[in-house]
Structure 1
Amino acid sequence: MKNIYTFGRKPAQRNYTVKDLQDLKGSGTRLTMCNPATEAEIRACVDAGIDTLTLWDTHLEMARELAPTHFAGTAMNWGQFATNDEIMRHAIDCMENGADMYFTNRSFEVVEMLAREGIPVQVHMGLVPSLSHWCGGLRAFGRTADEAMQIYQTFKRYEDAGAFACEIECVAEDTLRLLNEHTSIVTISLGSGNAGDIIFLFMSDICGESGHNPPKHAHAFGDLGRLHKQIYTERVAALKDFQTEVTAMNFPYPAQAVTMRDGEREKLQEALDRL
């Protein structure tokens, strides 16, 4: 553990610092990342030894209570804020509340603005789902040398803007492996094979909760979907029994009811009869 001060000037410890992640590039060490969104999911990531977390801002406070030493980034939605001032205010608030990096997929100008203030900025390359209209829909990237070089040029632009890390989504594995040697940016592979510095996968994909048509890069290491179906079936059965018993005037059962003390019912009846 490393002793640090957070961006909010609070003493803390972290399993990894920004410099640690930068120093791990080229070392052969590969880290994990997941996106817990509930108390149970955060606790599970901690107990499972997941290295780094990525969180929405609404989950940051809870994550800092449950995973106080984990390197944890937080994010903004593409359309969450309209102006640069709003983005900057949000980023500063997140960092002061314990985030270790801030994700945005807005313009190079926004990245440069945030980085200029010392904020470790994470960006997004390859398949950016919210911008999929521009590339003809959901598809893989970097499968040709020309497109791989376009990705390389984007890496360089993000380096110049001051980006610290980048989620690389659905880029050819061999493309990322070659380009990773030519960038200082910490690469976070999602669907880009085993070539990133950090391997990221969604909680729902890892745990088998993605339904019948998960993306190609998803791999279920568990089968919580089966358990969710079982829980749903049990829930419906219990609700039906409740409905039936109430309609039949059977529930609440005597065991769930409270009765008057001995002799008190008769006293009450007498009092009522005198009305």
Structure 2
Amino acid sequence: MVHKANRPTVHDMRAIKARGQKISMLYVTTPEEAAAADAAGIDMLSIESRFFTPEMREAAGRCFVQVGLPFGPYGQLATAEDYLRAAFHFTAMGGDCFYCAASLDIQKALCDNHMPVVAHVGLIPSYITWTGWRAVGKTADEARAVYDHVKRLEAIGCFGAELEVVPDRLGAFLSQNTSMILLGMGAGPGADAQYLFAEDVLGCTDGHRPRHAKTYRNFAAEYARLQAERIAAFREFRADVNAGTYPEPQHNVAMQDAEFQAFMAAVGQ
């Protein structure tokens, strides 16, 4: 396990931005994905709290880990105290910063307690009932609203913000004009980080992928092949059972003839 003292800190991540170096970031859900990201040299991971365990932290190695604190009716967090308790819990487990899309007062409460907070601007999935699933900031008024949101988050002390589906020119301007680290997802090359979901990078599904996703492998085809092989193996097993060809002698536990005869005598057979 990588000792905490050897892992990147908020200070280190800010230094990356100051150097003008781009940050690579992935959303992962399994220890295997986390370990692969670490081995590949990915800078930053996003892991929802429901997936974040000591095993995940160990698998993530030197990656800087953002733990997602659930927001909305499916989560367990409602008040600032709830969020603080969760943040301290996951800090002890090795979380490096915390995604929080709750209200400004809750985000500020986390910041006031020295928790590194990553907020969300642009297209915010938990708010889409107000915006719909679309790019945000294509008009001057919307771009100004996104800018004002960034500045409010900066003022309360947020460490960063996910910047989702905004025009590339706006993404570059915002990143250049805030002290926060802006984690771009469909926000153009000027964002401080480029953030994708591992399932899109790996091509895990045949379903809809967002415009900004880039697929580097076709795991869906491999999963389909493995499922076909799984079905075939199960079918062969069932056929062996029905035909009496399984189990074979090598699958059975042997018993000496004398011992079996003594047992039969003991039970009156």
Q: Deviations for 1:168-202, whole angstroms, at most 9, x for unmatched residues? A: 11111111111211111100011212121111110
CA contact (8 A) 1:13 1:68 kept: no
CA contact (8 A) 2:46 2:66 kept: yes
CA contact (8 A) 1:60 1:74 kept: no
Distance apart, 1:145 and its partner CA: 2.2
The amino acid across from 1:225 in the alignment is: A
The SS at the match of 1:139 is: coil
* Count of matched residue pairs: 264
What does residue 100 of structure 1 align with? 96
CA contact (8 A) 1:30 1:198 kept: yes
Distance apart, 1:39 and its partner CA: 2.1
- Structure 2 residue aligned with 1:186, among 153, 169, 181? 181
CA contact (8 A) 2:71 2:102 kept: yes
CA-based RMSD: 2.0
What does residue 15 of structure 2 align with? 23
Distance apart, 1:262 and its partner CA: 4.3
What does residue 29 of structure 2 align with? 37
Matched, 1:67 2:60: yes
Distance apart, 1:11 and its partner CA: 5.7
Inter-partner Cα distance in structure 2 for 1:65 and 1:179: 34
What does residue 7 of structure 1 align with? none
What does residue 142 of structure 2 align with? 147
Inter-partner Cα distance in structure 1 for 2:237 and 2:262: 34
Q: Percent identity?
A: 31
The SS at the match of 2:5 is: strand
For 1:49-64, list aligned pairs within 5 A.
Answer: 49-57=41-49, 58-64=51-57
Structure 1, gaps ≥5 residues long: 4-9
For 1:252-271, list aligned pairs within 5 A.
Answer: 252-271=247-266
- Of 251-260 and 57-66, the range deviating more from structure 2: 57-66
Distance apart, 1:269 and its partner CA: 4.2
Q: Deviations for 1:79-122, whole angstroms, at most 9, x for unmatched residues? A: 22122211111111111221111110000111111000111100
TM-score normalised by L of structure 2: 0.91
TM-score normalised by L of structure 1: 0.89
Inter-partner Cα distance in structure 1 for 2:238 and 2:4: 54
Structure 2, gaps ≥5 residues long: none
CA contact (8 A) 1:101 1:120 kept: yes
- Structure 2 residue aligned with 1:215, among 200, 210, 217? 210
The SS at the match of 1:204 is: helix
CA contact (8 A) 2:31 2:60 kept: no
- Of 72-81 and 57-66, the range deviating more from structure 2: 57-66
